[in-house]
């Protein structure tokens, strides 16, 4: 059976059905996601691709962890700190997790005030989110320096399976890079919001339309994704 052209009742314009209709929509410069802006759609596509990358890293880590015949270092011992003469396991990781999850709250409030066009509160909350993210990265740098000082390398470690070092640096380093990029982007967007670029239609990146605060939400999508990925890293790498 041959597909008959479909008609748009509102405009009286006939378009082909099936794949030919999809090609016609794209070639005529129509949005593929009718109720979603291109910026938000592209961010979702980027996050989907990034999900595949993080999934591959974590699946590879689990495969190595279950297949190695050498003893795997105990995370509760490796990531413990001596505070006041007491050996406290995972205390640094717990604080890092709390900070990053809290930053999701400040980011959500920034998006809320952005759509209310309250530029000062939006900027302050975005800066608070960036500060929390920078604190997380700083604590991660401390964690790296501590383990490096104790002899952990990508090719080995003093406590057992050599794959521990490569898994740790690859997974946490890749995530830390995402957080660092997010902190930089948050700082730039906060400065734009504080100056009123979104209200004054100041020329520049991401400020082409007057009153458009959607970039704040797009930044929030990226930041919430980074936080969500850390939850999986925390559960699979530090608690397992």
Q: Over pLDDT 90: what percentage of the chain? A: 50
On whether both 76 and 18 belong to a single domain, the answer is no
Give the number of domains in the chain: 2
On whether both 1 and 69 belong to a single domain, the answer is no
On whether both 40 and 96 belong to a single domain, the answer is yes
Question: Exposure string (b/e) for 115-139, b if CB count within 10 Å is 16 or more?
Answer: eeebbeebbbbbbbbbbbbbbbbeb
pLDDT the model gives residue 85: 80
| CA 172 to mean position of chain CA atoms | 13
DSSP letter string, 38-49: HHHHHHHHHHHH
On whether both 25 and 47 belong to a single domain, the answer is no
Q: Over pLDDT 70: what percentage of the chain? A: 82
On whether both 8 and 105 belong to a single domain, the answer is no
On whether both 162 and 83 belong to a single domain, the answer is yes
Higher pLDDT: 214 or 94? It is: 94
The tokens for 68 are 């190695």
Task: Tell me the CA distances in angstroms from 24 to 16, 28, 49, one per residue in order.
Answer: 8, 6, 26
On whether both 107 and 120 belong to a single domain, the answer is yes
Indicate the pLDDT class of residue 49, thresholds 50, 70 and 90: very high
On whether both 105 and 24 belong to a single domain, the answer is no
On whether both 5 and 82 belong to a single domain, the answer is no
Strand 13-15, strand 81-83: pairing? unpaired
Higher pLDDT: 25 or 81? It is: 81
On whether both 209 and 134 belong to a single domain, the answer is yes
pLDDT the model gives residue 201: 65
pLDDT the model gives residue 196: 81
pLDDT the model gives residue 4: 46
Look up the domain containing 20 and give its range.
1-30
pLDDT the model gives residue 9: 45
On whether both 160 and 215 belong to a single domain, the answer is yes
pLDDT the model gives residue 38: 78
- Tell me what the mean pLDDT of segment 211-220 comes to: 84
On whether both 56 and 142 belong to a single domain, the answer is yes
Which CATH number covers residue 65? 1.20.120.80
Give the model confidence (pLDDT) of 137-196 as tens digits.
Answer: 999 999 999 999 999 998 888 888 889 999 999 999 999 999 999 999 999 999 988 888
Indicate the pLDDT class of residue 10, thresholds 50, 70 and 90: very low
């Amino acid at each position: 059976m041959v597909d008959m052209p479909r008609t748009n009742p509102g405009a009286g314009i006939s378009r082909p059905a099936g794949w030919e209709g999809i090609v016609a929509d794209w070639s005529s410069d129509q949005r593929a996601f009718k109720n979603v802006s291109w910026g938000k759609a592209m961010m979702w596509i980027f996050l989907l691709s990034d999900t595949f990358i993080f999934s591959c890293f974590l699946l590879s880590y689990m495969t190595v962890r279950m297949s190695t015949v050498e003893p795997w270092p105990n995370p509760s011992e490796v990531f413990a700190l001596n505070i006041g003469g007491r050996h406290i396991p995972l205390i640094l990781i717990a604080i890092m997790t709390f900070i990053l999850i809290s930053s999701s709250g400040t980011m959500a409030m920034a998006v809320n005030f952005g759509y209310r066009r309250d530029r000062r509160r939006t900027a302050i909350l975005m800066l608070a989110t960036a500060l929390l993210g920078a604190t997380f990265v700083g604590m991660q740098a401390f964690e790296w320096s501590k383990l490096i000082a104790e002899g952990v390398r990508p090719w080995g470690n003093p406590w057992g399976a050599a794959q521990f070092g490569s898994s740790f640096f690859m997974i946490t380093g890749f995530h830390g890079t995402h957080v660092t990029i997010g902190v930089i982007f948050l700082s730039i967007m906060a400065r734009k919001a504080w100056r009123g670029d979104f209200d004054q239609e100041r020329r520049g990146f991401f400020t082409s339309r007057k009153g458009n605060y959607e970039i704040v939400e797009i930044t929030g999508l990226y930041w919430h994704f980074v936080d969500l990925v850390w939850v999986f890293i925390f559960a699979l790498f530090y608690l397992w």
